[in-house]
Structure 1
């Protein structure tokens, strides 16, 4: 089986359009089995604001106390996951939501309970749950909530969750879906960037702003065993006639524009 893991950030879910889903269909027709992992930051922030809870971040990770965890879990499983599953169904894809803690799908451990609270890192992906869905011809749509050995639910960064799922499945590709076409260097879309290129462009200031965390997540993926990561747009076709549209990030080879 050939796998592609697709990470959709919460901020881009409402911008996914028909061209995006046409690319999904083309990948399926080529025999790829797809797995989605999604975030939900904007929806979580809205709910925290409603409950008058101030969001806190440490090194880019959401500090998660007991109340924040409950809100994040409710939003991710009850709103964001439903939203993405329903969108896939509207475009005639069989999709099923899977909460990351269900069946110990995403087994996790605390990163730093004192500093971050109930925030975890994945130590094992139980692919049996994913395969049960895929063998039934469903696309799994996974929330980034893990579960620790002691039964405690843990909030997982969605980028990191997608990377771990991709590594465990030995996926051919891990896609980070964003609201831009990819990485632009000197005004031109770079079709591919090596890890060395990315670091150099960040140093020069040619990769800046909101693109930095996106490429850093991609670098983390290739550094930890994913062959390559594509940064693609959710607002247009990212795969057409066998050709990728976006920026491929990988570890060793030189840049191609």
Structure 2
């Protein structure tokens, strides 16, 4: 039984064509088991702005005080999570939305520099049994990256870190990161081409040389963050490509595979 964990930003998912969700449904119907972990940074920024709360970041992580945490949970576990569930259900798939606090799904502890960035967490454990149970009932688990500890304290978890931890705990070796680019591009003979594979060393070299630049840097670094525990490779694909998930799961030869070595 094939299984894969897919990580996607909330804004990317909202923009994806219906065909993407139909492809997911067909995969599910054919016995492949998708698990989705999503983010929602732009929607959080937008809601914070409307409420007059400033968005601040330190080393790529959102500075999260109590007021920000309320908004993060509301947007991720409420609005975005349910939007994804609705889209999947409209395509005919069966989906169940979960926050990392449900059933202690994502246990977390404060990150090392918590005094500087507040309620941001690192994943300490994932309740794989709960995810397995949802899959066994025939549903696609859709997970919002909010963590919790034994004292009931919530934490904002980076979606890439959460996805990597979920994949690792489920024993999934390949994680699919759905984005709005076809992969990591490299110029060869004056033509931009998708790199079929890239190592951490390749990526750092391309960032240093300026070949990977701008908004692509956080995407690639995020994908690298997913290589966690048992996850051996991360596949970056463009969600707008036809049958992108089927091709990624069954055929290969699409997007860029990021491997440690």
Residue number in structure 2 paired with 1:198: 203
Residue number in structure 2 paired with 1:116: 117
> 1:25 offset after TM fit, Å?
4.0
> 1:26 offset after TM fit, Å?
5.0
Q: Deviations over 1:217-249 (max 9, x none)?
A: 222333644111011112223245632321111
Q: Deviations over 1:98-129 (max 9, x none)?
A: 11101110000001331111110100001121
> Structure 2 residue aligned with 1:246, among 234, 237, 255?
255
Residue number in structure 1 paired with 2:59: 59
Comparing 139-148 with 195-204, which one deviates more in the overlay?
A: 195-204
Residue number in structure 2 paired with 1:84: 84
> Any gaps of 5 or more consecutive residues in structure 1?
253-257
Residue number in structure 2 paired with 1:215: 220
Residue number in structure 2 paired with 1:255: none
Aligned residue for 1:222, secondary structure, equals coil
Q: Deviations over 1:147-181 (max 9, x none)?
A: 02221010000010000000000113211111111
Normalising to structure 1: TM-score of the pair? 0.92
Q: Superposed, which structure 2 residues align to 1:10-89 within 5 Å?
A: 10-25=10-25, 27-28=27-28, 31-89=31-89
The answer to whether the 8 Å contact 1:178/1:231 transfers is: yes
Residue number in structure 1 paired with 2:94: 94
Residue number in structure 2 paired with 1:141: 142
The answer to whether the 8 Å contact 1:120/1:155 transfers is: yes
| Inter-partner Cα distance in structure 2 for 1:28 and 1:172 | 19
Aligned residue for 1:11, secondary structure, equals helix
In structure 2, the CA distance between the partners of 1:101 and 1:76, relative to structure 1 (3 Å rule), is: same
In structure 2, the CA distance between the partners of 1:107 and 1:240, relative to structure 1 (3 Å rule), is: closer
Tell whether 2:188 aligns with 1:180: no
